[in-house]
Structure 1
Amino acid sequence: MSTNANVVKSEPQKAGFDYWRKRAGIPLTIIIFTAVLMMPTPVGLTLAGKKALALLAALVTLYLTEPVELTVVSLMILPTAVFLGLGSTKVVLENFATSSIFLLVGATMMAAAMEKTRLAERFTYWLLSTIGCSARNISLGVTLANVALAFMVPSTTARTAILLPICLSIIHMYEKTGEYQKGQRLNFAISLLLTLAFTNSTISAGVLTATVPNPITVDFIAKAGTVITYMDWLMYGFPPAIVMTLFSWWYLRKVFKPEREEIPGGKELITQKLNDMGAMTSPEWRTLFVFLLVVALWATGGITKMDTTVACYLGVSLLFLPKFGVIKWKDTNRDSAYHILMMSGGALAVGEFLMKTGAAKWLANSVFHSLGLAGASSLVVIGAVLFIVQFSRIGFFGTTGLTVLFMPVLIALAATANLPAAAVALPAGMLIGGFPFLMFYNTISNILIFGTGYLTVGDFPKVGGVLCLVGVIVYTICATTYWRWLGLF
């Protein structure tokens, strides 16, 4: 495996920073929480609103410092909110039981069947062997695999875990079949790994169940009075997502041009992997049938009037049936489903407090007037907001915390600008979930590819900054043109 001095040097520094960041998390949170509570209540903000802001400040601090697991942070919200008088136990817990959250939990259960039967893995090998094994086709194959897996596996981390070993095997073969100096950084390796992570994220913006911020965004928009279904999200989000996914693939190949296009033995490697799996098994066929059934029910929801979450759990139930099913409860009883439930529920609870107490509106008014957006067109307002949301992620690990911070404020800001909540919150939510690659620490997927040793810290902003800016432009145009024509607002 290739190495790089900058990467090696950064590892102990990163470890030291992470250690002190986590050690400082709890005391720093207490200090910030207390400071916000004790400060004089600003003009236009209620006492309850100030308490909600204190809770938000504490939550964001815990998200940034990570002294405990993020799911534990959500557990802390319940007693803290009740102690502050922001809501009753019942009110807080209602946010942990929304339709969108359980849709994502159900999709995670379906993914367990994909994983157990190895259907997703088989599809990936089949796609790569069909497209071909030149440097161009391999990176394109990984891109298209990400597109397909976004519908099957509701986690960017899980999809990266499926594709990363395949990419590393191909990179090792590329190294062995060429004459390169020891320690030389290969553009092919850099491009392929960044393509894996970046296109994994960009396509997530187009599929409701592909990543956690999407259903959280839908729930916040629902609180503002607009219902976004699975097919609505696909109709609005998939076209710009596929455009940005293919653009990202093209741009990465232009910036990191491969040393050569030929990969001797590449096709044989993929074909051998596929042959080793043998013919499709009965459990794989049954899993494929259930998956296609659920997708068909989602696509025809406008006709059948069947809720997307109900359709998902119908499929999940079939996967558990005796004789027909392919999974047992122990196969789905894993951390990811509970992680989604707790993280999303806690985020929604804090967002609701901000909206009900008027804190979100107060923040939105402050931001709106400080930016001089009064009287600006919808194009300018949406573009400015998306730019701020996108480039503020440089200080965030993960995407859920960013969603929690911005969604309540954006919905209130939309009202201040006389725009529907969805006009601002929907493109912002898609950007948050789909473009987390300014820095390597923005998502676990980035960290996984960074940990291979082929990448440096600077690789991410070098190409990620451009892609993020293009993403802001694309989603601003979509929100102000064809989304409006489709009736979003």
Structure 2
Amino acid sequence: MVKRAGLFVALAALLAILWMPTPQGLPPAGQVMLAILALAVVVWMTEALDYAVSSVVIGALMIFLLAYAPDSAKPLAADMGTGAALGLALSGFSNSAVALVAAACFIAAAMTATGLDRRIALVVLSKVDADTNHIVLGAMVVGLLLSFVVPSTTARVACLVPIMMGFILAFKVDKRSRFAGLLVITAAQTASVWNIGIKTAAAQNMVAVGFIEKQFGTSISWTEWFIAGAPFSAFMSIAVYFIMTRMMKPEMKEIAGGRATIQLQLEAIGKMTLKEWKLLVIVLVLLGFWSTEKVLHNFDTSSTTIAAIALMLVPRLGVMDWKASQRGFPWGTVVLFAVGISVGTALLKTNAAGWLANLIVHNLGLQQASAFAILMLLSLFLIVIHLGFASATALASTMIPIIISVLTAVQTPGINVIGMTMLLQFVVSFGFILPVNAPQNMIAYSTDTFDARDFIRTGLVITLAAAVLLVIFALTYWPWMGYMSKAV
């Protein structure tokens, strides 16, 4: 019922904006894109259509609605036509960030096919003693390590949650106990936290990088992102640990035989296979290339990742064949990602994002606001609007082009538009409050180890801690590093 209503509201919003008089300063093509943006936001917020289906529908609307709008770059020319509109609708597919997201999905598939992700998790957990808080800490360490080598949040949590559930069943712990809920919620929240600090940990980060590359002709290296975001993620991890272990205090202090049980699971999967060793070497070498980009070499993240995928798929040398790589491959995510970038690119090219940004800047009085005030206001907006989105990728696709335009429109001397866009992208990953705010949250919720209210009440406190850290970092570390403003 909600989905059907969402579809009607989305279509009504599309038609209302298309039929309204064109506002001053907004090109007709820009008005078309705002109408499509309104439909996309409603569809993504209500999940009226499957994400992959919605991306195809949005792409088709862009082609046929923009075809009858004058080209913004040539105001006196005839209508854009389907050829030019098609180019705009497919522009996201040519973005290097899309190649990186697709490649990241291959790495996740290779991890699952070889079982290396499961082995890494079990090895770390086998080193943890029987103290329940230490088990939680072990799960968080696994989440951190997998963030470096599995560039998919959903894949990381999908790997970790079954291990946690096996852990709970092996210990004969009640599935609905506080300990079980604590373990599973913490695994999901840790994944979200490290999406902030590691550029390749989540698809939504690639959205921001893609728009930055398109708009400014430059990129943010893996190391630059890590230096900016990892300290924030580290402090957030500490906050998550203390918040979760206090708010969902386990019924027992320790679980007898915990380490032995994990050791048995580790022995059951046997010694590392040749494929696991090869994948581990490839991933570690790839991580080395990521972290030394612009320092020891000029190969960008997308190029090195595609080369690694080629090695993984080469017969004999690689770790899987094409058929194995396609089992459960999320092509829908890749298409959504590409179309999301197409929408953002069209918003920028048709001046829809610029027009909307000027409206926001003037109405909120941001023309001369400080970088700190702008960051805080836009962060608050992103945290609130995220409550309506079930995908951070969709949120980033919708909001990052507008944020770039807002930052470009303000007259604050020396504001670092690229740095501020990156910091606001960090906030896009703040999907801590509702189980429906992120796929990893839904994977955790599907275990039936906790009630939604447990996730919400702990998530609200985690979000509050993130907001406090945001203020602290925005007043100290980030300005010191020059991410918010440049010397003028």
- Structure 1 match to 2:77: none
What is the CA–CA distance in structure 1 between the aligned matches of 2:203 and 2:479, rounded to whole Å? 25
Work out which of the residue numbers 249, 258, 261 in structure 2 matches 1:257: 249
Matches within 5 A, 1:178-197: 186-197=177-188
TM-score by length of 1: 0.89
Match of 1:4 in 2: none
Deviations 1:170-193 (A, max 9, x none): 3345555xxx8xx9x633222212
Matched, 1:275 2:267: yes
Deviations 1:460-489 (A, max 9, x none): 231212222322342454356434443444
Q: How does 1:26-41 map to 2 (within 5 A)?
A: 26-41=7-22
Alpha-carbon distance change, 224 to 478 in structure 1, aligned in 2, over 3 angstroms:
farther
Q: Which amino acid aligns with 1:145?
A: V
AA in 2 matched with 1:105: A
Aligned partner of 1:83 in structure 2 is 64
Counterpart of 1:380 in structure 2 is 373
Corresponding position of 1:3: none
Question: Which of 31, 46, 49 in structure 2 is aligned with 1:50?
Answer: 31
- Structure 1 residue 359 corresponds to structure 2 residue 356: no
Q: How does 1:227-306 map to 2 (within 5 A)?
A: 227-302=219-294, 303-306=296-299
Question: Which of 133, 136, 139 pairs up with 2:136?
Answer: 139
Q: Please show how residues 161-180 of structure 1 align to structure 2 within 5 Å.
A: 161-173=158-170, 176=173
Q: Deviations over 1:238-297 (max 9, x none)?
A: 221122123212211121222221101222210100011111111111111111111112
Which residues of structure 1 form unaligned runs of 5+? 1-19
Q: 2:206 aligns with which of 181, 194, 215?
A: 215
SS of alignment partner, residue 42 of structure 1: coil
Return the alpha-carbon distance in structure 1 between the equivalents of residues 359 and 131 of structure 2: 53
Which residue pairs with 2:431 in the alignment? Answer: 436
The code of the aligned residue for 1:255 comes to: M
Q: Distance in 2 between matches of 1:114 and 1:446?
A: 21
Bigger mean CA offset, 369-378 vs 299-308: 369-378
Q: 1:40 to 1:367 in 2, by over 3 A?
A: same
Identity of aligned residues (%): 32
Picking from 96, 100, 103, the partner of 1:99 is 96
How far apart are 1:50 and its partner, in Å?
A: 1.4
In the alignment, the residues of structure 2 paired with residue 481 and residue 217 of structure 1 have an alpha-carbon distance, to the nearest angstrom, of 24
Counterpart of 1:363 in structure 2: which amino acid?
L
SS of 1:445's partner is helix
1:420 corresponds to 2:420: no
Q: Map 1:386-425 onto structure 2 (within 5 A).
A: 386-417=379-410, 418=412, 419-425=415-421
| Separation of aligned partners in 2, 1:438 and 1:337 | 25
Amino acid at match of 1:355: L
Contact kept, 8 Å, 2:435 with 2:441, in 1: the verdict is yes
Equivalent residue of 1:322, what SS?
Answer: coil
Q: How many aligned residue pairs are there?
A: 463
Say whether the 8 Å CA contact 2:126–2:263 is kept in structure 1: yes
Structure 1 segment 467-482 matched on structure 2, within 5 A: 467-479=462-474, 481-482=476-477
- Measured after TM superposition, the shift of residue 346 of structure 1 is 0.8
Residue 39 of structure 1 and its aligned partner are, at CA, apart by 1.3
Q: What is the RMSD computed on CA atoms of the aligned residues?
A: 2.1
Task: Find the aligned partners of 2:33 and 2:299 in 1 and give their Cα distance.
Answer: 36
**SS in structure 1 of the partner of residue 197 of structure 2:** coil
Letter in 2 for 1:431: V
- 1:347-389 per-residue CA deviation (whole Å, 9 max, x = no partner) reads 1111112112222122223223333434322111111110111
Give the TM-score normalised by structure 2: 0.89
In structure 2, the partner of 1:455 is 450
Runs of 4+ in 1 over 4 A off after TM superposition: 173-176
Aligned equivalents of 1:340, 1:428: Cα separation in 2: 22
Deviations 1:187-215 (CA, angstroms, capped at 9, x unpaired)? 32222121011011111111222111110
Q: Which residue number corresponds to residue 326 of structure 1?
A: 319
CA distance in 1, matches of 2:308, 2:316: 15
Q: Partners of 1:285 and 1:29 in 2: how far apart?
A: 49
Q: Is the 8 A contact 1:412 1:421 kept in 2?
A: no
Q: CA deviation at 1:90?
A: 2.2
Residue 103 and residue 407 in structure 1: after superposition, are their counterparts in 2 closer, same or farther (change >3 A)? same
Aligned equivalents of 2:398, 2:282: Cα separation in 1: 37
How many Å separate the matches in 2 of 1:482 and 1:342?
36
Moved more, 142-151 or 309-318: 309-318
- How much has 1:153 moved relative to structure 2? 1.8
Q: Which runs of 5+ in 2 are unaligned?
A: 70-83
Deviations 1:115-152 (A, max 9, x none): 11111111100100112232011100110101111122
CA displacement at 1:308 relative to structure 2: 1.7
Q: Indicate how the Cα distance of structure 1 residues 369 and 35 shifts in structure 2: closer, same or farther if over 3 A, else same.
A: same
Distance 1:251 1:217, change over 3 A: same
